[in-house]
């Protein structure tokens, strides 16, 4: 995905994030990955539990790369460029809540 600051719009595009980020030692790379998979990798890297409280969010896809010195808050903030969710930390658990109502 590509965020255009001038228009405030998020554009989906094909990318090869893994090639562009191979040089990032210890970083994280995601290529069209569901948020559920990203959450699992963040749990392992940062030794936290992540609770995605929406089926819609679990299925959202993201491509990008993050270097090894970025915090989990930095990463969640960058993934949340469209402001689709909020997160709250309680102990070693991060609760991620969908801002959009799920259609039932």
Instruction: Provide the domain limits for residue 93.
Output: 2-98
* Any domain includes 104: no
Give how many domains the chain has, as a whole number.
Answer: 1
Whether pTM > 0.75 for this model: the answer is no
Identify the CATH number of the domain in which residue 10 sits: 3.55.50.30
What 37-46 contacts at long range (C-beta under 8 Å, 24+ apart), as own/partner pairs, is 38/62, 38/79, 39/96, 42/72, 42/75, 42/76, 45/72, 46/72
* Any domain includes 13: yes
pLDDT in tens, 26-71: 788 888 999 999 999 999 999 999 999 989 999 999 988 888 888 9
């Amino acid at each position: 995905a590509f965020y255009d600051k001038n228009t405030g719009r998020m554009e989906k595009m094909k990318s090869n994030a893994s090639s562009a980020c191979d040089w990032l030692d210890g970083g994280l790379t995601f290529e069209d990955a569901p948020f559920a998979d990203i959450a699992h990798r963040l749990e392992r890297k940062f030794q936290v539990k992540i609770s995605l409280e929406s089926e819609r969010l679990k299925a959202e896809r993201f491509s990008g790369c993050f270097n090894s010195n970025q915090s989990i808050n930095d990463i969640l903030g960058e993934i949340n460029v469209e402001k689709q969710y909020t997160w709250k930390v309680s102990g070693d658990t991060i609760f991620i809540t969908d801002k959009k109502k799920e259609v039932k």
